[in-house]
Amino acid sequence: MTTVSAAPTTSTAFGSVSIPRKVSAGVVIIIGIAFLVITMMNNLFQVGPAFEEMIDDFRPVITDESLAVAREDIAGLEAVGVEFQTLVAPGMAQALGMSPEEFTGLVESQYPAVAAGMAALPEITASFNGLVDTLDSQQELFASADAIPTENLPATTVPWIVAVSGVLAIGVGIMMFKPGRLWAILAVALGAGLVIVTFALGLPQKAADADELNSNLTPIYTQELIDGATGSLALIGAMGQQMETEMLPDLAAQLGMSQDELNAFLGQNFPATAAAMESMPDALQRFEAFVGVFATNLANYATIQPVAFVPIIWSLVIGGVLMVLMGGYCVATKQ
């Protein structure tokens, strides 16, 4: 007569468990340790707050309305540059009885900030247009990343989810050394919960979008970008101030006009320049706020940039599946 031997068992403080049960418990414990290692190695307790703060600051900047206003401000500066070269310089030269070359020389010698700003406007506006275009092209990726883990839960919850899952897995794995089905069933429940929640919240796609957004920003989000943009704004601000406080009053005096008469003359003959003089203070404030968001979050981006979110999310999925398999095996075979 043939007899079937039971799986070998080992005696522990909790009682006698089979070797397969012990192996399954060990795997669950290793999964929990892996979750904790992932949390620490990826610095998630710093990445989560940095990600949330950066997302919060960029959210109002990357809206359709905000980007449209930025484009209007840039277009106004572009128009000033073109009008100054094609209309203002020749027109003012004629009014002053000068050649265009003489008027240009006058501006360069007596109003250097105006000359420098006008010369730099094409490059400055092209740079700002490129930045706005980049942000515009990333809106969908940003919206997806903004919803990690959900639209109502902040990103600061993610490291806690991973770490707590690790602690629970370790605890369940240890208790699986105790005879009975309860802890194996809990391992299945914990693993299944991780897998279900991960896919229910769309975290694999959100993580992929966040990583793509990170990759797209890496070439431009640098200290050089911030320094260049800050310098450009300083150049434009100096140009506008010197034009308003020195150049235009001087031209009004040379033309025998009052300031109001000069303003009317500019509005009639050089509308882009007149409009820019009126709107430039507000436009500069908007540009400074725009650049300020990049500047204040550079340290946050440096914290986030090295981290890839896709492997973290798939580690949760794989760990969850393994817990289901280990616990399910113990339940099914009554180990």
Under 8 Å between Cβ of 53 and 297: yes
User: What is the model's pLDDT at position 277?
Assistant: 85
Q: Is 180 helix (H, G, I), strand (E, B) or coil?
A: coil
Give the H or E element holding residue 95. Answer: helix 89-95
Under 8 Å between Cβ of 327 and 18: no
Q: Provide the β-strand partners of residue 10.
A: 17
d(C-alpha 318, C-alpha 258), whole Å: 77
Q: What pTM value is reported for the model?
A: 0.85
User: What is the model's pLDDT at position 1?
Assistant: 41
For residue 179, cis peptide bond before it (omega within 30 degrees of 0): no
- The domain spans of the chain are 17-62+153-211+308-335, 74-137+219-304
Q: Residue-wise pLDDT tens for the chain (335 aa)?
A: 444 444 455 444 445 778 999 999 999 999 999 999 999 999 999 999 999 999 999 999 999 999 999 999 999 999 999 999 899 889 889 988 999 889 999 999 999 999 999 999 999 999 999 999 999 999 999 999 999 999 999 999 999 999 999 999 999 999 999 888 999 999 999 999 999 999 999 999 999 999 999 999 999 999 999 999 999 999 999 999 999 899 989 988 988 888 888 888 888 888 988 888 888 889 999 999 999 999 999 999 999 999 999 999 999 999 999 999 999 999 988 86
Tokens of 290: 């725009």
The owner of tokens 């030269």 is: 93
User: What is the model's pLDDT at position 15?
Assistant: 55
Q: Is 77 helix (H, G, I), strand (E, B) or coil?
A: helix
Tell me the residue type at 125. Answer: T
